[in-house]
């Protein structure tokens, strides 16, 4: 009889637990899935080439691709090496953040931007644009350019990607370096 009672109680408890309503998980409605990246990566390296020849290599600590907005956002120390046809680095651009327009392939370097050429010319500014269609580097922000022969400060500039031929607009300061004194 005891066995039957235990069996009946076990059967009663298990059958009543099967009829309990299902527990539904909570849904976080604050998450906007429309604004999530379609791809995301860390410690990324992106190679840009033309006809099998490397033109540039981009490095980013964090990279997010937004297909709907047709842009790629980068942060955590962005660096781009530009190469000539002999695979020699001709210039390097670094910044804290960046953005690539995936339609035009233009690169925007943002925050603490430094561009350095292989000849030693250094450009510092807050924002810089590498325009892919004509391979020009430009900015409408305050820039400082230091080369072996001069220091120029002003608002706005345009240059070739090698930082060899540049124009500074709205110059606020200029000084020539005396090459005989090594200054």
Q: In which domain, by residue range, is 141 found?
A: 37-176
Q: Identify the CATH number of the domain in which residue 159 sits.
A: 2.60.450.10
Across residues 55-83, what is the average pLDDT? 94
pLDDT exceeds 50 at position 172: yes
75 within domain boundaries? yes
Structural domain contains residue 54: yes
Residue 159 belongs to a domain:
yes
**Maximum separation of any 2 CA atoms in the chain, in Å:** 113
pTM exceeds cut of 0.95: no
Cβ(83)–Cβ(93) under 8 Å?
A: no
In a domain, 31, yes or no: no
Contact in structure between 118 and 148 (CB atoms under 8 Å): no
Q: What is the pLDDT of residues 83-140, one digit of tens each?
A: 998 999 999 999 999 999 999 999 999 999 999 999 999 999 999 999 999 999 999 9
- Express as a percent the part of the chain with pLDDT over 70: 84
Q: Which residues, 6+ apart, have CB-to-CB distance to 148 below 8 Å? A: 119, 120, 121, 177, 179
């Amino acid at each position: 009889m005891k066995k039957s009672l235990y069996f009946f109680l076990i059967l009663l408890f298990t059958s009543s637990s099967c009829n309990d309503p299902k527990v539904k998980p909570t849904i976080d409605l604050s998450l906007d899935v429309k604004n999530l990246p379609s791809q995301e990566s860390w410690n990324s390296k992106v190679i840009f080439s033309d006809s099998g020849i490397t033109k540039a290599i981009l490095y980013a600590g964090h990279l997010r691709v937004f297909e709907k907005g047709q842009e790629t956002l980068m942060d955590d120390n962005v660096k781009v090496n530009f190469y000539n046809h002999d695979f020699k680095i001709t210039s390097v651009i670094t910044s804290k953040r960046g953005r690539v327009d995936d339609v035009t392939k233009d690169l925007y370097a943002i925050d603490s931007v430094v561009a350095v050429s292989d000849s030693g010319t250094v450009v510092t500014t807050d924002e810089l644009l590498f325009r892919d269609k004509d391979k020009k580097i430009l900015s409408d922000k305050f820039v400082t350019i230091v080369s072996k022969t001069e220091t120029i400060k002003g608002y706005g500039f345009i240059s070739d990607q090698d930082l060899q031929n540049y124009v500074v607009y709205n110059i606020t300061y200029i000084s020539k370096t005396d090459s005989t004194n090594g200054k």
